[in-house]
Structure 1
Amino acid sequence: MNPLLRAEQAVLGSVLLDPGQLPHLDWLAPDHFNRPVHRALFAALRKLRADGHPALAADGTVPLSWVTDAVDEAVLHVRGLTPVYAHTLVSACPRPEHAPAYGRMVLEGAIHRSIAQHAVRLHQAARADALRGEVEEALHHADVLSRVLDDLARRWGAEPRPVAPAAQPVTAPAAPPPTVRTDHVAEDEGFLLAVLAEQPRAMDQVVGWLRPGDFADPAHGQLYRCLGALHHRGEPIDRITLLWQAQRRGLLADGTLSDDQVTALCDGVGSGSAEWLGEQVMRSSVSRAAAASARAIRGLAENKALSSGQLINHALYALGPLDDVRTRWQIANGWPAATPTAQAPSPTGPPPARVHAALARSTPRLVSPSSARTGSVAAPAVTRPPSRGHS
């Protein structure tokens, strides 16, 4: 039996033994329990308390009706719960007065589970967008995940701020890239490089927001880096200067590029809109960044050794690369950068006293607004301008 299951049983057992523990668990919600039976039973216990069950006024021995009425209420919403299992829960609780500590364990398990689920949704949206050549769904789910992290931080009583993990997290295995779009992405990148080599002034259209890391093909990214270096120094761009720049960077010696690749690039068509092609490259970059952030966050959420505060802060840090790509995507589309606005804590959030009970800390901590995130780019407004489509 895993520790989380034992903690859920201990919470329910403590309340069945002592209804007076319920006021100390107001910050704990039925959805925080993993098992449906446990969710239904905890919801039933809270309902009995709201209805003023006689057991709440009992002095000393708790009447058996407290247990039987809770089971009768819970079975209206879930199957498989019996009075026998309710008594099993009672025996699973070492000390009823430790209910807040058990509840903290349940909340921590719910935080890990919720973050993992939202990371999976973000990864699925990123792959779907990659197939369609879009970015809207991935960015939407990234916003949802960011808000979830801020909300969970407030519930946990921690300050949400991006913190790099001490060790590189073990990410979930990367799914194979969508083959339907792979060829199109490589073609767009090749056409863009050909245009930039044929029309050096076209670099001015993309140099402000397109980066070498935005290219799916590392060789294309290195070629773009060479073009950028020549452009930055104001040197002429042609087959010879580009080949010389690649050699100076050691790209020919290590096999990253070859003479034939550079020649083929410079002998390409070279006609087209660098801005439009650059936007296509950025679309692919946004999808890849979203998928990479999702895999990293999922790997963090599956690490049970991380505390909830560490997990939340590491997950915010893992969203940083996506925030950077998103900002440059907005610049490429001519959208104004979002201005972070201070948000007051939700009035329905847990008060400091209950956060103190949940975390079993000596003193309650003030919860900072969700806008207190530092080191990452603010998410765009909920209402987004329509994407610039090209056909």
Structure 2
Amino acid sequence: MVAHHRHPLDPARRPRSRRRPGPVRRRLRRRPAGRRRPPLPPGAGVNPLARAEQAVIGAVFLDPAQLDRLGSWLRPEHFYRPAHQALYASVLALRDRSHPGSTAAAGSVPVSWVADAVTEAGTRTRGVTASYPHQLAAACPNPGNAVVYGRMVLEGAIHRTVAEHAVRLHQAARADTIRGATEETLLRADALAGVLADLGRRWGADARPVPPPAGPEPGPRTPAVDEDLHADEEFLLACLAARPDQIGTVVGWLRPEDFADPGHQQLYRALGALNHRGEPVDQLTVLWEVQRRGALNGHTLDAERVVRVLDPLAVAGSADYFGERVVGAALVRTAAESAQQVRALAEDEALPAGRLIGHALHALGPLDEVRRRWHTARTAPAPEKPQAPAPAGVSPDRAEAARARSRTRRAAPPAPAAAALSVTPVRTSRRSPA
């Protein structure tokens, strides 16, 4: 009989555990005596904005007359916490309903003023307890400074609201970039401009663009260019090179910075310079102009790319159509950049509210400029077709009269078929009884 040796990990060969049944005790690692956690500094973890919101509502509970100084410009949506929004909206509603406590003087406020406000707030949101007003009253250092506390709340709301609308504008611009549209971007840009104007009026500041202090110049960056947009830009440049007479129709509203590709910007500058000097435009002249400008550096442009893009036999189209598409893409791209700048300004808590509004309006300036040119491109009238010169030996008056008669004949409607048959003589056949 052969004995089979079992594997050492066989459960049948494992020794039984000698642990007694019962709760498992874990040893806690004690902190060494010399490594104690440092105490928190006084005031650490206190949010100044939350304390300001508490102080405003506490001041209204202690002195209802402060609502007359706050209600015209401080709204419930300016508070960040839902409980504070509900409480402030409740005291405004009680004042509008002529609650007896709304006219009480400081020091003689009835309990019903606070109790009814808490009850009203409970219908608007959850979490408002009967003990919370005592905490709000204790957070108010001086009810007479309610206006100062209210401006703190409004300043926080300005930063928060501007940042939210900037994020929405940036998201709309990215979505329109994918769709190739501009409607949502323009809608969000108008909303942001309207919010800035309203906040400036509530803050009491002149809502006008103010340039920010000069900072470090941003480094050169090459954004990723969509394939469709890249093709549209090349098609536009090819159209302008093949038909230089179209340069004059787009030069009024199309700028080199509207092109997303840096190489295309250099090509458009060269085309515009040649057209401005009245020199011929073709592959060789543009290539020479690009070289004179020092753009053939191998990074953005090279000779092979210039010849390939400006091939006159590769394309024939309308420069107005593709120019409008390029300006529309520049509009969306500029909106995304402006939104990022506005968001960075709004997230700077050290920036005062008045300066934030002015700097944000200044950041939207390039977007407004591109938008005006985009509107001009969409509403520009079609160029008139040049008239052929009069033949030699024909006076201008006779040529104009001939053109007028030609226009009259083209404008006259053709005669209907029934009328044409009525003037035709009836031919009787031989088999006719007549």
Match of 1:82 in 2: 129
Q: Aligned partners of 2:353 and 2:347: how far apart in 1?
A: 12
- Secondary structure in 2 aligned to 1:203? helix
Q: What are the ranges of 5 or more consecutive residues in structure 1 without an aligned counterpart?
A: 337-391
Q: Deviations over 1:90-112 (max 9, x none)?
A: 11111111100000111111111
Q: Provide the C-alpha distance between the structure 2 equivalents of 1:266 and 1:254, rounded to a whole number of angstroms.
A: 17
Q: Which has the higher contact order (CA 8 A, sep 6+)?
A: 1
Describe the superposition over 1:321-361 as per-residue Cα deviations: whole angstroms up to 9, x where unpaired: 0111111111111169xxxxxxxxxxxxxxxxxxxxxxxxx
Cα distance, 1:170–1:307 mapped onto 2, change above 3 Å: farther
1:28 aligned to 66, 74, 81, which one?
A: 74
CA-to-aligned-CA distance 1:290-343 (integer Å, 9 cap, x gap)? 11111111111111111111111111111110111111111111169xxxxxxx
Are 1:122 and 1:290, in contact at CA under 8 Å, matched by a contact in 2?
yes
Residue pair 1:196, 1:270 contacting (<8 A) in 2 also? no
Residue 17 (structure 1) aligned with residue 62 (structure 2) = yes
Tell me which of 278, 282, 286 is aligned to 1:238.
282
Number of residues paired by the alignment?
330
Match of 1:145? 192
Cα deviation for residue 58 of structure 1 reads 3.9
Letter in 1 for 2:235: F
Task: Say whether 1:135 aligns with 2:182.
Answer: yes
Q: Report the equivalent of 2:100.
A: 54
Where do 4+ consecutive residues of structure 1 move more than 6 Å? none
Contact between 1:169 and 1:299, CA under 8 Å: does it hold in 2? Answer: no
Q: Secondary structure at the match of 1:134?
A: coil
Q: 2: CA distance between counterparts of 1:149 and 1:331? A: 26
Encode CA deviations 1:175-227: one digit per residue, 9 max, x unaligned: x96x8xx1100000011111111221121221111111001111111111111
Answering whether residue 309 of structure 2 is matched by residue 262 of structure 1, we say no
Task: Please state how far the C-alpha of 1:168 moved relative to its aligned partner.
Answer: 4.7
1:291 is matched with: 336
Larger Rg: 2
Select which of 248, 251, 268 maps to 2:292. Answer: 248
Map 1:210-221 → 2, pairs under 5 A? 210-221=254-265
1:160 aligned residue: 207
Structure 1 distance, partners of 2:162, 2:111, is 39
1:98 paired with 2:145, answer yes
| Residue range with higher mean Cα deviation, 15-24 or 262-271 | 262-271
Q: Distance in 2 between matches of 1:264 and 1:124?
A: 36
* 1:54, distance to aligned residue in structure 2 (A): 2.6
Identity percentage of aligned residues: 57
Post-superposition shift, 1:255?
A: 3.1
SS of the residue aligned with 1:333? helix
Q: How far 1:253 sits from its partner (Å)?
A: 3.4
Matched, 1:189 2:236: no
Q: CA deviation at 1:169?
A: 9.7
> Aligned residue for 2:87?
41
Verify the 8 A CA contact 1:170 1:296 in the aligned structure 2. no
- Tell me which of 212, 229, 249 is aligned to 2:273: 229
2:65·2:103 contact (CA, 8 Å) conserved in 1?
no
CA contact (8 A) 1:13 1:96 kept: yes
Q: Distance in 2 between matches of 1:5 and 1:217?
A: 47
Q: TM (normalized to structure 2)? A: 0.72
Q: 2: CA distance between counterparts of 1:47 and 1:277? A: 57
Structure 1 position 18, deviation (Å): 1.5
Q: 1:200–1:237: 8 Å Cα contact kept in structure 2?
A: yes
SS in 1 for 2:379: coil
Where does residue 354 of structure 2 map in the other structure?
A: 309
The structural deviation recorded for 1:51 is 2.3
Provide the rounded CA distance (Å) in 2 between the counterparts of 1:257 and 1:235. 22
Contact 1:8 1:102 in 2 (8 A): yes
C-alpha distance in structure 1 between counterparts of 2:86 and 2:352, whole Å? 27
Which segments of 5 or more consecutive residues in structure 2 lack a partner in the other structure? 1-45, 382-434
CA RMSD of aligned residues (A): 2.1
Assess if the C-alpha contact under 8 Å between 1:197 and 1:237 holds in 2. Answer: yes
Please give the per-residue CA displacement for 1:128-161, whole angstroms capped at 9, x wherever unaligned: 2211211122112212211221111111111111
Q: Structure 1's 128 and 258: CA in aligned 2 closer, same or farther, altered over 3 A?
A: same
